[in-house]
Structure formats: structure tokens, C-alpha cells
Amino acid sequence: MGTRRVLVTGCSSGIGLAVAARLAKDELRRFKVVATMRDLGKRGPLEKAAGDSLNKTLEIKQLDACSESSIRECVNSLPDRRYDVKYSAVIVNNAGLGMIGPLECQSIDAMKELFDTNFFGLARLVKEVLPDMKRRQSGHIVVMSSVMGTQGLIFNDVYSASKFAVEGFCESLAVQALKFNIKTTLVEPGPVVTEFERKVYEDAESMDLSGTDKETAKIFREIYLPYSKKMFASLGQTPEEVAEQTVKVITDKEPPLRHQTNRLYMPMTALKHADPTGRLPLDSFYKMTFKHDKVFNATLAMLHLLKRIGGKK
């Protein structure tokens, strides 16, 4: 296997930064990383994380996922548009936005902005690189999705919708891509503890809820937000943990279409597959949220214990 050039989007922080740094520091030196971000003024944390690999196995470039011309300019800046060297090209689409809260309190413009990044950003990037991959009969499209792309969650309506769109896009494209020897993988993290997530929840704490009814506002503030904090404390992964699993997916000879990074979250997503009618997961999440909070807390405590035990192995 030769050195592979990997283009990663959304590298100013969080998962994108961790993935880019991990690939660049690969002990076997299997990767040349093109780490991109919308605002190059935010490159400091990535440069620090890259360390000695900066400008050796990692270069930083500007790319705005919301701009076709920016994507094209970035790809065209690579030698012969080659983001592969001797083996297959890899792109890791990670750029994204978050949104939580009652639907009535969110503007349509904000929803469009989220979809423009989370879904259309992916579509723009793939549209640009897919013809090159087809010509070379090789490639790997790796997309940072979410478990919320397979199972919706209360007060994550719009964010989950964007990830469902990503999942449908990739699942449909994967069939055609396979004909050209192009692999497609959806990486599906559960809760990940990043500054990005912390900012989303900080904004939610002070969110203007005057646009919704008092009961919904109370559910959001007194049930959802405290539950979310407990979920992150019990099940949350670090960006580095997600990055490590992403590297394994990239180096897999037969990479899966979907890969959940957090085994402790699998029972929650498994409910959907257990009942095609949708009644089982809907009823289970309703009861966990509104009726059996003690069971929910006990389950989280058990999962937290399993996580600690697993971490010591």
C-alpha cells in the first residue's frame, strides 16, 4: 500500500482536527493530509496538534463547504488535482453545524444554513471529486455522520433531518460508486465531547423560548438539557477516540458502509431495527423521557461503569 493523500474538511477544531492530526502522525507514514477549514485564522489549534508533522505530512488549506468555487479552488491547487499518490484517494467530510431546541424557536434561515453546510456541503465536495475517482477507478468517501442519522432524538429535529439526508445520499450513491471501485463509509458517532458541542449547549441554556408554549419550554430546560448532560458524561467519546476509529475504517481493506464509533450507544439505535413499524423505539424513548427517569438514570450509570471498565482494558 502506497502513501495516500487524504483531504479532510472542518479541521479547525473537534473531530476534524483530531482526524487530520492522527493521520498526519501515523507511525507507518501512510498518509499525506490536506487539512481544510473555512477560516484560516483558526488554524492555530491544528498547527499545535500537528506538531512536527506540519508542512511534512500535513498541509493546511482554505475550503468553504458552502462554496463550490472554494472547493474547486482547493482541489485544483493539489498537484494534477491529485489527492491520491500511489493508491486510492480518500476524502473525509467532517464540516458541520449543530442545532437543538424547540422547532418553533428556530428560524427557517438558520435551518437552511445548517442544511447548506451539513448536507449540501457534502454534496458539493463529492460532486467535485467523484469524476476524478471514477476515472481512476479508486477512492474512499468517508462521511462524518451521526447516530442521529439513523435514530431521531427529541429537540434535535433539524440536525437529525440533515444527518438523515446525509445517510440517504451516501447509501444511494454507494451502489453506483461501488461499480467504479469507490468505497463509501458513514462514520456514526454518538455524543462526542468537543468545544463545538459545548458551544451548542451553552447557547441552548440561554435560548429565547418565548416562541413556544410554557410546557415545551419546561421540557426543554428541565428534562432535555439535564438528560443531555448526563448522556455526554456517561457515553461521551473524545474526538481522539472517534479519530482512531476513523483511521481503522480508512485502512480497512473492505470498509463498511456504516460504522458506529460508540458500542455503548448501539442498544439505543438497535431499537429501530427491532421493530420496522417504529412503535418500539418511539414508545421506548417516550417512556425514558417522560415516565421512567429513574430507569433512564440507572441505565446511564450502568453504561458509564461499563465505559470505565472498558477503558481500563
38 is in an annotated binding site: yes
User: 34 among the known binding-site residues?
Assistant: yes
pLDDT single digits (tens) 234-245: 788 999 999 999
- Taking alpha carbons only, the member of 256, 199, 232 closest to residue 14 is 199
The answer to whether 98 is a known ligand-binding residue is: no
- How high is the pLDDT of residue 213? 96
Q: Please count the CA atoms within 13 angstroms of the CA of 198 that sit on its side-chain side.
A: 7
SS3 of residue 253 by DSSP: coil
Backbone angles phi and psi of 94, in degrees to 5: -125, -20
CA neighbours closer than 13 Å in the CB half-sphere of residue 55: 3
Q: Is 159 a catalytic residue?
A: yes
**Per-residue pLDDT at 78:** 87
- The residue written with cell numbers 421493530 in the block is 275
Cell of 26: 501515523
CA distance 100 to 155: 6
Q: In what order do the strands lie in the sheet with 139-144?
A: 58-62, 31-37, 4-8, 90-93, 139-144, 182-188, 258-260
Contacts for 51 with CB less than 8 Å, ≥ 6 apart:
21, 25
DSSP code for 223: I
pLDDT of residue 79: 74
Query: Which residues in 74-216 belong to E strands, given as ranges?
Result: 90-93, 139-144, 182-188
- Give me the sign of the Cα torsion angle 160, 186, 116, 47: positive
Question: Which residues fall within 8 angstroms of residue 2, CB to CB, at 6 or more apart?
Answer: 85, 86, 87
Backbone phi, psi, residue 220, to 5° = -65, -45
Residues of the chain with pLDDT under 50: 84-87, 313
Is residue 28 part of an annotated ligand binding site? yes
Residue of 100, 82, 58 lying closest to 196 (CA atoms):
100
Predicted confidence at residue 169, as pLDDT, reads 98
Please give the pLDDT value at position 295.
54
The reply, when asked if residue 65 is annotated as ligand binding, is no
- 240 marked as binding residue: no
Given the residues 83, 159, 224, 265, the one annotated as active site: 159
Q: Hey, what's the torsion of the CAs at 290, 296, 298, 302, to 10 degrees?
A: 180
Residue 198 has a pLDDT of 81
pLDDT reported for residue 275 = 87
DSSP annotation of 137 reads: T
- Supply the pTM of this predicted model: 0.89
180 is in an annotated binding site: no
Query: 251 phi and psi, to 5 degrees?
Result: -90, -5
> What is the structure's pLDDT at 86?
43
Q: Please give the sequence-ordered ranges of beta strands (E in DSSP) within 222-266, or none if there are none.
A: 258-260
Q: Residue 32 in contact with residue 85, Cβ under 8 Å?
A: yes
CA pseudo-torsion sign 51, 52, 53, 55: positive
Identify the CA nearest to 101 among candidates 205, 189, 193, 190: 205
pLDDT at 304: 54
